[in-house]
Amino acid sequence: MIRVGVVAATAIALALPAVLGPYALAIAINVLFFAYLGQAWNIIGGYAGQLSAGHAVFVGVGGYAAAVLAAETGLTPWIGMFVGAGLAGALGGVIGYLGFRFGLRGFYFVLLTVAFAEVGRIVVSNWERVGGAVGLYITFTGDPRRLSFQDDRAWYYIALCLLLLATAVAWAVERRRFGIYLTAIREDEVACEALGVDTLRYKLLAMVLSSFLTGLAGAFYAYRYSSLQPNAVFGIPLSVEIIIRPIVGGAGTLLGPIVGSLILTPLGELSRAVFGQGGWHGAHLVMYGVLLVAVVLFVPQGVVPWLRDLLRRKPA
């Protein structure tokens, strides 16, 4: 039953670009891209329950690495992407090690991640070699070998691949001992330790995996939007965008980030379109805030688990 659903959904997703107009296609790309980011975060934030509110730092590191390498050495971003991801993963390992080794949990860990993201932002803003506060502008070359495309449909398929990749990784994690341990760590680390689980090792693994995947997105971001600005790409607003979809959709579930993105991305676009005209920037952020509050109060597990419960209660 589920398999049929998955195949159907994938088929629809593959066929979509043929029927969507350019504006809708752009939104669809965003849906997929932010679902990907959310899924990558889901591994450490949802399954393992370690709330990282600075995940944008990995996007920034990945993106800048790929872009700078391309500019200075001519390395194709297709490879630069992985270098950036590797760097992001290493940074994730550092942050994770610092945080977990010293027993930072909950709020303190959040603060640590935010601190690192801010440090990243400040450092890059002041680093003239990589563009300083103004950032980098990535010239549009239209050359696929340099990760630049004339046709948006290419971006769509790349985003789709990324999402499928992240979801596959999350699915694999969920089924194996690694994932089961993570969900227990989220509940009670002390009990886990007493049962033989090396919590430090698994949290670290989750963090590195998550940050690596997020770093991959950096290059996508840089080349799709043709610019890298420290405030945008290391800043808290991006971190909020990353975490809000899985949280609303259902942290720690496979479909959560996807459903979350399906709901929030169009809504965000809509509010930008409706309110942005009047110069009311940030209206969509108010909406995010309201949604966040509403979810926490009424649907704390997220939309997907809530729907699952609803369906279960229906008489068979």
Does residue 303 bind other proteins (CB under 8 A)?
no
Nearer to other proteins among residue 134 and residue 177 (C-beta): 177
Q: Which two three-digit tokens encode residue 292?
A: 């966040």
Site string for other proteins, 144-173 (x = CB under 8 A): ------------------------------
Looking only at residues 250 through 279 of this chain, which bind other proteins when binding is defined by CB under 8 A?
275
Instruction: State the minimum distance, in angstroms, from the CB of residue 42 to other proteins.
Output: 14
Closest CA to 21 of 149, 129, 144, 152: 152
Output Rg (C-alpha) for the chain, integer angstroms.
19
Instruction: Output b/e per residue, 105-136; b: 16+ Cβ within 10 A.
Output: eeeebbebbbebbeebbeebbeeeebbeeebb
218-to-25, 70, 73, 305 alpha-carbon distances in Å? 21, 13, 18, 30
Nearer to other proteins among residue 118 and residue 152 (C-beta): 118
Nearer to other proteins among residue 148 and residue 183 (C-beta): 183
> How many chain residues are in contact with other proteins, going by CB under 8 A?
62
Cα–Cα distance between 22 and 29 in angstroms, integer?
Answer: 10
Helix crossing, 77-101 with 106-125: angle to 10°?
Answer: 140
Instruction: Tell me the window of 26-34, 61-69, 75-83, 192-200 that interacts with other proteins (CB under 8 A).
Output: 192-200
Helix residue spans in the chain (DSSP H):
2-15, 22-41, 56-73, 77-101, 106-125, 152-175, 177-187, 189-194, 199-225, 230-233, 236-249, 256-276, 283-298, 303-313
Does residue 316 bind other proteins (CB under 8 A)?
no
Q: From the list 11, 14, 172, 195, which residue makes contact with other proteins (rule: CB under 8 A)?
A: 195
Does residue 296 bind other proteins (CB under 8 A)?
yes
Nearer to other proteins among residue 32 and residue 57 (C-beta): 57
Nearer to other proteins among residue 11 and residue 191 (C-beta): 191
Instruction: Tell me the window of 73-81, 108-116, 148-156, 165-173 that interacts with other proteins (CB under 8 A).
Output: 108-116
In this structure, which long-range contacts are made by residues 8-16, counting pairs with CB atoms below 8 Å and at least 24 apart in sequence?
Answer: 10/164, 13/160, 14/160, 16/156
Does residue 232 bind other proteins (CB under 8 A)?
no
Does residue 130 bind other proteins (CB under 8 A)?
no
Binding region for other proteins (CB under 8 A):
49, 51, 53, 98, 102-108, 110-112, 114-116, 118-119, 122-123, 125-126, 175-177, 180-181, 183-184, 187-188, 190-199, 236, 240, 247, 275, 280-283, 285-286, 288-293, 295-297, 300
